[in-house]
Chain A
Amino acid sequence: MADLKTLVLGKKDIADLDTETEMPHELMTVNMGPSHPAMHGTVRIVLTVDGERIVKGDVQPGYLHRCFEKEAEHATYTQIFPYTDRLNYVSPMINNCGYAMAVEKLLGITHRIPRRAEFIRVIVSEISRVTDHMTCVGASAMELGAFGPFLFLLKAREWLYTLLEEVSGARLTHSYVRVGGVGKDLPAGWLPKLAARLTETEAALAEAEQMLNLNKIFRDRMAGVGALSREDAIAWGQTGPVGRAAGIDYDVRKDHPYSVYPEFEFDVPVGTTGDCYDRYLVRVEEIKQSIRILRQAMAALPDGPVMIDDGHVALPPKAEAYNTIEGMIRHFKHIVDGIKVPAGEAYTFVEGGNGELGFFIVGDGTGRPYKCYVRSPSFVHLSTAEKIFKNHLIADIVPIFGMINMIGGECDK
């Protein structure tokens, strides 16, 4: 007896259909990007596919190359802060801190930064890290169809942006940190607000987690997709959540401690499988650890100045600049010539939102850097994308990309 399909379609049609389903075994080239909804920022991928399976993927960054290095060579040390904001625009404070630390290292004033300034830097950096991870998790979830968690996490991010705006005056691109300290002290009554917001953020995060962790669609799309072994991760220089998910127990805050991080207690989450779901779990856990650090830092925040007391580095107080001739000359020299940084080179790295964020600065004794290279984690992580994609389906690019968390400004500099 003929099967149902034949009865419905008839013998001839089924024969035609069968020959049609025999696709010629040929590789096809598919172009993705540079403007594609699933690409954070802009990147182009030229895929060679066998049906739905990716055989080769040529990832081409550079669509947002804004010449950070060339701009930095033409700007004074203080003027570079706005450019660093726009490297990783999801966690600008960490970039600010990393760059400031590199210049301070060249100046040799690392140990003279006021303690209060160090604490404030830790506080704003950790808030930035929370917003970074929230954006990453929320946006990736949205791309996989979960719009709810995106809205929940963005709502929480909005609270934190408002807090950072109160500190720095800008919602997104803060330029708050200065060489030798921070721009200004925390506003009065800010810490209780932060404490309240942290509790609410935790609640929002818990809600988002509830929606995602046991969500079948989310798990199916993330778990087992885009795995990277520990050896490969090391050979490709992976750090941050991507490296930690692959089992590399490396966090700059623990392994090469800087600032006042040794004084805080926090754990470094490490994954086992190195797939997208592990990366997601590592990020969520890091948000919690950041909140833990924030609570400790708020409790231990000392009093005191927030800017180094050194006329070569700090701007004179406004009253002095407006009322005395010496103060005004100093102010003018500071703005026009920049901070005189002695000749030499220094590499400083901090734990950025995505991993090891380093600044390699060569000073030549003038007020402008001779060279200012940034080691951007996104760039390093994106270079593995090609390797990770292989033998996955085209649809898997979305979670892989989301969890690599490539930030255009940082990757392309």
Chain B
Amino acid sequence: MAQKVVDAVKAKFGDAVVATSSEHGDEVITVKRDKLLAIAAFLKDDPAMSFEVPVFVTAIDLAHWQPLGRRGAPDEGTRPAYDAEASDGLRFEVCYQLRSLKHRHRLRVKVQLKETDTKLPSLTPLWAGFNWQERETFDMYGIRFDGHPDLRRIYLYDEFVGYPLRKDYPKDKRQPLVRRPDLVGDH
């Protein structure tokens, strides 16, 4: 059903659409970063699209992406394994999930970002609901959303260094704010 949407976006924006796919009932389009705002505005305002509901924003860190097929062989079917040089350093994939209340279709818009340049235009001016979601993505992955009204950490504290959901952040590396003085000293 949402194939119609993908076709419309392709027809209107042509080469701004990097890739499209359909996985498990969800249509996914990957778009170029500089066209994201225009495409998003089109998706929101065009009556045939009318994606008025923001669902979620998140990012995928591809740094350790090594897909395995059956019996442990490398998987050829999906996205290839991540290689910093071969893939042009496109390490992050930011996903915006949208839903239309009117047409009951949904779409995932993706933007690929380089490790060295994690900037992206914010979609909060279009969908107010993305405000906290983008903050969360910033907090967890360090993706910077340009034009976000209030981009700061949301789950973690300001003293926290690093972005925990990046694959290179160790799972149990704590950064304590306070500890019992009698445990630290020679009590």
Question: A residues engaging B (CB < 8 A)?
Answer: 60-62, 65, 67, 69-71, 73-74, 105-106, 108, 232, 234-238, 248, 250, 255-256, 340, 342-347, 356, 358, 360, 362, 364-366, 370-371, 373, 375, 379-380, 382-383, 412-413
Contacts and interface: CB of A to CB of B under 8 A. Distances in A.
A375 B75 contact: no
A168 to B, nearest CB: 28
Interface stretch (B29-37, B48-56, B83-91, B178-186): B48-56
A413 B53 CA distance: 22
B54 A70 contact: no
Contact of B24 (A106, A370, A375): A106
B78 A344 contact: yes
A232 B127 CA distance: 10
Contacts of A379: 132-133, 136
Contact of A375 (B52, B55, B68, B155): B55
A370 B65 contact: yes
Interface in B112-133: 127-129, 131-133
Given A62-B155, A346-B24, A383-B131, A248 B55 contact: no
Given A67-B164, A237-B127, 6 more contacts: A65-B156, A73-B171, A108-B24, A343-B79, A360-B95, A380-B133
B67 interface: yes
Contacts of A60: 154
Given A360-B95, A383-B129, A383-B132, A234 B52 contact: yes
Interface string B24-65: 111010000000000000000000000011111010110011
A380 B24 contact: no
Contacts, number: 112
Contacts of A344: 23-24, 78
Given A62-B156, A343-B75, A364-B65, A356 B55 contact: yes
A412 B131 CA distance: 15
Contacts of B165: 69-70
B97 A347 contact: yes
A248 B99 CA distance: 14
- Of the candidates B28, B97, B127, the one having the most CB atoms from chain A within 10 angstroms of its own CB is B97
A211 to B, nearest CB: 35
B171 A235 contact: no
B67 A375 contact: no
B54 A237 contact: yes
B55 A358 contact: yes
Contacts of B19: none
Contacts of A69: 140, 165
A343 B78 contact: yes
Nearest to A356: B55
Contacts of B53: 234, 237
Contact of A362 (B52, B56, B60): B60
Contacts of A256: 104
A174 B91 CA distance: 37
B104 A255 contact: yes
A370 B155 CA distance: 21
A248 B101 contact: yes
Nearest to B95: A360
B14 to A, nearest CB: 25
Given A62-B154, A70-B171, A383-B129, A360 B101 contact: no
Given A62-B156, A70-B164, A366-B68, A360 B171 contact: no
A364 B101 contact: no
A366 to B, nearest CB: 6
Contact of A346 (B26, B65, B140): B26
24 contacts: A62-B155, A65-B156, A67-B171, A70-B171, A74-B171, A108-B24, A232-B128, A235-B127, A236-B129, A237-B54, A237-B55, A342-B69, A342-B75, A358-B55, A358-B97, A365-B75, A370-B60, A370-B65, A371-B58, A373-B58, A375-B56, A382-B132, A383-B129, A412-B155
- Of the candidates A61, A71, A383, the one having the most CB atoms from chain B within 10 angstroms of its own CB is A383
B129 A105 contact: no
Contacts of A238: 129
A342 B28 CA distance: 18
A388 B150 CA distance: 18
A167 B37 CA distance: 50
B148 to A, nearest CB: 13
A364 B55 contact: no
B108 interface: yes
A233 B165 CA distance: 30
B66 A364 contact: yes
Nearest to A373: B58
Contacts of B101: 234, 248, 250
